Amino acid sequence: DLTRAMDNLRTQVAACKLCTDLACRRQNTVFGVGPLNTRFVMVGEAPGADEDRIGEPFVGAAGQLLDKILIATGIPREQVYILNTLKCRPPNNRVPTEEEMANCRPYFEQQLEILQPDYIICWGTTAVRAILNVPTPIGQLRGKFHRYKQAKVVVTYHPAYLLDRKSTRLNSSHTVISYAVFCLKKK
Ligand code: URA
């Protein structure tokens, strides 16, 4: 069943050493968290220091912003499955390399295969590249639905990017995100 399939995958990820450099630095792999019967999956980039320490996605500063955004959209975090394109923290939070993304791809693909979400929300360029397989900037992709297999995909800026840019961007992007998720819920 689904629980067993996800647990097996989690065990494989915990033992993975494909990215030698990341595997020997990590404290924890960060597999993903949320209900298996969810309609919504959110995809981030890779664990940061807090996530590496705790073993859960989006528990640091970006996670706190994510919580606020979710509250604003009215989707409880407990109803969303949250995962990253990389399960290990890149040193100094650098952007994942192509090789790392290729190594980790089968894991998130299998997670999505198990979850069969109706909607996938991509946070930031790395998630977009992983899910939609295009290099197009977020600005040109947001505001409409894309596809990953049977799921509708919405893309938005990464919460950490919003944190860096503070008020103006945050407000406008926040509106965009809320609107995107509002549309999702109406469907
Ligand atoms: N940023 C991400 O993309 N993922 C996390 O889990 C934390 C920060």
DSSP 3-state assignment of 87?
Answer: coil
pLDDT per position as a tens digit, 75-123: 788 989 999 999 999 999 999 999 999 999 999 999 999 999 999 999 9
Residue among 84, 94, 104 to mutate when testing ligand 1 (max atoms within 8 A of CB): 84
Specify the pLDDT at position 177. Answer: 60
Q: Given strand 151-156, what is the order of strands in its sheet?
A: 80-84, 40-44, 119-123, 151-156, 146-148
Say which residue the tokens 């650098």 belong to. 94
Closest ligand 1 atom to residue 126 Cα is 3
The pLDDT value recorded for residue 129 is 95
**pLDDT value of residue 70:** 78
For residue 82, the ligand 1 atom closest to its alpha carbon is: 6
DSSP class per residue in 120-175: EEEESHHHHHHHH-----HHHHTTS-EEETTEEEEEE--HHHHHHHHHHHHHHHHH
- Give the model's pLDDT for residue 165: 60
- Flag whether the pTM goes above 0.85: yes
Residues in Cβ contact with 89 at an 8 Å cutoff, skipping those fewer than 6 apart: 22, 25, 26, 30, 46, 47, 48, 49, 51, 52
Residue 183 has pLDDT above 80, yes or no: no
Mutate to test the pocket of ligand 1, among 26, 58, 64, 83 (most ligand atoms within 8 A of CB): 58
From 24-38, 143-157, 161-175, the region with the lowest mean pLDDT:
161-175
Distance from the alpha carbon of residue 187 to the mean position of ligand 1, in angstroms: 28
